[in-house]
Structure 1
Amino acid sequence: MPARIYQRPKNAMQSGKARIADWLLEFAPAEAKRPDPLMGWAGSGDTQQQVVLKFASEADALAYAEKYGIEVHVTPSPVHRLKIQSYADNFR
């Protein structure tokens, strides 16, 4: 079952850097979601979709995937660029 390894992006409402250093291994869905006939909620019988594993580094996540024979796709983390400007720049 394929999986992807990525770093969680920073939330737009978040000012701190908590939980963005972790690397996550998340399994791809094996089957499509379908609506429940009674309630209309979306769901599937795939329980691997609920599993998200956290690792301290990308190397740890890759080692885990290799140990258990999981096919992975690594999504590189985006480059963080700061836009430095002063308050006076608002009035130019």
Structure 2
Amino acid sequence: MSAKIYRPAKTAMQSGKAKTHIWVLEFDQNSPRKIDPVMGYTTSSDTRQQVKLNFETQEQAVAYAQKNGIDYRVIPPKEAVRQVASYTDNFRYSRQQPWTH
């Protein structure tokens, strides 16, 4: 039984950073998924894939995994690098490239 501990990134539909400060413990897939021949659904006999545990800090998630004997790996979060751009810079006189339509 192994799991990964990570902090989720914000979705493309979010403009804010809600729900990105929690840490998630998610179990890895132990058995392959299969396609049900009758209904066409994707199924699996491993119910641990459905479990996601939320923690306030990384230390709490690691402590939970150690206490319950779960092999884990921590995936460090990647911080977004935002480039500051000003709309008025498009019309600056000292612009390096000529403005085109």
TM-score, with structure 2 as normaliser: 0.86
Aligned length: 92
What are the equivalent positions in structure 2 for 1:1-92 lying under 5 Å apart?
Answer: 1-91=1-91, 92=95
Q: Which consecutive unaligned segments of at least 5 residues does structure 2 have? A: 96-101
Q: What letter matches 1:2 in structure 2?
A: S
Q: Which of these two proteins has the greater Rg computed from alpha carbons?
A: 2
Identity of aligned residues (%): 47
Q: Which consecutive unaligned segments of at least 5 residues does structure 1 have? A: none
Displacement of 1:82 in angstroms is 1.8
3-state SS of paired residue (1:72): strand
TM-score, with structure 1 as normaliser: 0.94
3-state SS of paired residue (2:26): strand
Q: Which stretch of structure 1 is more off in the superposition, 22-31 or 80-89?
A: 80-89
CA RMSD of aligned residues (A): 1.1
